[in-house]
Structure 1
């Protein structure tokens, strides 16, 4: 059963914001993405489910967005809003290895495990920070959406290990996006372990496809 909690460590988020490094050639101070990602992952800890401060439900997430002044979408504006976001995601993620799918008015980003993480690790590959930066930039441009981050694993090894790994990987991705100022109240984070394959686990190619993190982006619509 997926554990749900209602807070993320504020201290870890502040520490992540402060993680910088100085370029020895230019003297310029810039963000240290590796350190930031590690601290955010630690800050999320076992934080799964809805990440709002006061609510543990879909309704709570909706209320949090309204409270943050993010208006709901309605009518033809929903499709137009998601059309523009889809176009920007496709342009930004071209050749990144991340799949972009449109499902009605939802967007699904499929991040293969071999691109995003080292083997059996929940540490984000350094080269993948640029991709997540692009994703966070677009999410911040389109705040009227919910962001569901779901981790998946193949069936190799023990089921409980695969469940825990899928959770940690989802936490790492969500945590990094939050560190890039994507509103935390928009998030739902979960791991499904090996329970939701998209290919056969009987082949190496199928297992590779099943090791993934998916980000489902859904419009915040008027009830």
Structure 2
């Protein structure tokens, strides 16, 4: 009986040790992911003057205002933004352990169908431009959100201009 109790204690101690070591390894992995994303954030912040770059938990958000990327009511990327996108793509390619969600947004002017299609075309146009700078298509996903997620009021021209945008959400790919 005493021997069985002693064996049980050793088994319990071994299990506790394994759990502690596994949680430490998981914590190290999580902390290395956090450090990776922080480095990418700093580089994006220093590289992209025309964009708003923020870090939210373990993801990054990059917002290019509409007037930087597209002319009003257009899905054609402005030629003037291509050098900035080249720098953006260079950083994305350097930090290739990430996935990128590209969302297109509009103001509430126009029909719901028109705004949905325009927001999708804008997201796709931004993706194609990044792909032209060798960002892997498999890392990028697009979504047209139309006017469903405004960041300002649609009651003023200034607010509408802020709502016409493309956002990039950069997430660590846990499969890497």
Question: Cα RMSD (Å) of the superposition?
Answer: 1.4
Partner residue of 2:88?
135
Q: Deviations over 1:88-137 (max 9, x none)?
A: 1011012x2x1101101110000111111111111111110011111100
User: Are 1:164 and 2:121 an aligned pair?
Assistant: no
TM-score, normalised via structure 1 length: 0.65
Instruction: Find the partner of 2:33 among 78, 83, 103.
Output: 78
Structure 2 unaligned regions, length at least 5: 1-27
Using structure 2 for the length normalisation, give the TM-score.
Answer: 0.81
Q: Where does 1:9-158 land on structure 2 (aligned, <5 Å)?
A: 74-94=29-49, 96=50, 98-158=51-111
Q: Is the radius of gyration larger for structure 1 or structure 2? A: 2
Query: Counterparts in 2 of 1:197-216, with a 5 A limit?
Result: 197-216=150-169
1:194 aligns with 2:153: no
Q: 1:173 aligns with which of 126, 132, 145?
A: 126
Q: Distance in 2 between matches of 1:170 and 1:222?
A: 25
Regions of 4+ moved over 4 Å: none
For these two proteins, the number of residue pairs brought into alignment is: 149
Deviation of 1:222 after TM superposition, in Å, equals 5.1
Tell me the distance in 1 between the aligned counterparts of 2:142 and 2:169: 10
Q: Which runs of 5+ in 1 are unaligned?
A: 1-72
- Deviation at 1:76? 1.1
Looking at structure 1, the residues matched to 127 and 29 of structure 2 have their Cα atoms a distance apart, in angstroms, of 27
2: CA distance between counterparts of 1:179 and 1:140? Answer: 12
SS at match of 1:115: helix
